[in-house]
């Protein structure tokens, strides 16, 4: 369970300077450098997709059967995946051992666990089906509004974003 938490923590912590493979850094393939590596996803798509063609529709990122969390079914087309009960419990144990007021960004299954424990939290997520949670606030990663969390004094941020459809470097902006 700890390696999973470490992986999530690594997603939430962004380096100050790009490393190879990140936007703005050269992608080294042997000794050659890919000219597309310095482009962001939108620029790469424009480079590969002819002008005037329709934007590709969302498709599930996996063939796995969607699971449920608190009666809400995962939406794989939006890269929404829920942690199982054991993983939720372990992650929240680790999180609450060091922090008392987490801001959960795109992590609704952890918010369900925090709610069950009565722990304070703030969930920012696009999925309004989690509106039944007391700490839920609608939030769009594409059009963030910082004032959404202005009245909640959080002491850490745990982020589990849709990594294929969203560039993590944009969280810094």
- How many separate domains does the chain show? 1
pLDDT in tens, 41-87: 666 656 566 667 776 666 666 788 999 999 999 998 888 999 999 99
Provide the terminal-to-terminal Cα distance of the chain, rounded to the nearest Å: 31
pLDDT at 31: 45
Tokens of 103: 């801001």
Q: What's 149's domain CATH number?
A: 3.40.50.150
In a domain, 34, yes or no: no
CA distances from 90 to 5, 73, 95 (A): 9, 22, 9
The Cα 167–Cα 146 span in angstroms is 18
**Rounded mean pLDDT, 16-30:** 44
Query: Which domain does 98 fall in, by range?
Result: 2-11+78-172
In a domain, 160, yes or no: yes
> 131 or 48, which is more confident?
131
The Cα 104–Cα 121 span in angstroms is 7
In a domain, 16, yes or no: no
In a domain, 120, yes or no: yes
The per-residue pLDDT of the chain, averaged, comes to 77
């Amino acid at each position: 369970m700890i390696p999973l938490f470490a992986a999530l923590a690594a997603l939430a912590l962004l380096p100050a300077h790009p490393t190879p493979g990140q936007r703005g850094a050269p992608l080294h393939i042997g000794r050659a450098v890919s000219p597309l590596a310095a482009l962001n996803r939108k620029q790469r798509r424009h480079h590969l997709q002819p002008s005037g063609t329709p934007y590709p529709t969302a498709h599930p990122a996996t063939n796995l059967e969607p699971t449920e969390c608190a009666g809400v079914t995962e939406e794989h087309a939006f890269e929404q995946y829920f942690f199982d009960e054991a993983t939720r419990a372990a992650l929240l144990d680790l999180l609450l051992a060091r922090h008392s007021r987490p801001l959960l960004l795109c992590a609704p299954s952890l918010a369900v666990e925090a709610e069950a424990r009565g722990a304070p939290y703030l969930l920012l997520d696009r999925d309004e089906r989690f509106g039944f949670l007391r700490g839920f606030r609608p939030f769009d990663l594409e059009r963030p509004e910082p004032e959404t969390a202005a009245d909640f004094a959080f002491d850490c941020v745990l982020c589990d974003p849709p990594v294929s459809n969203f560039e993590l470097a944009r969280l810094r902006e």
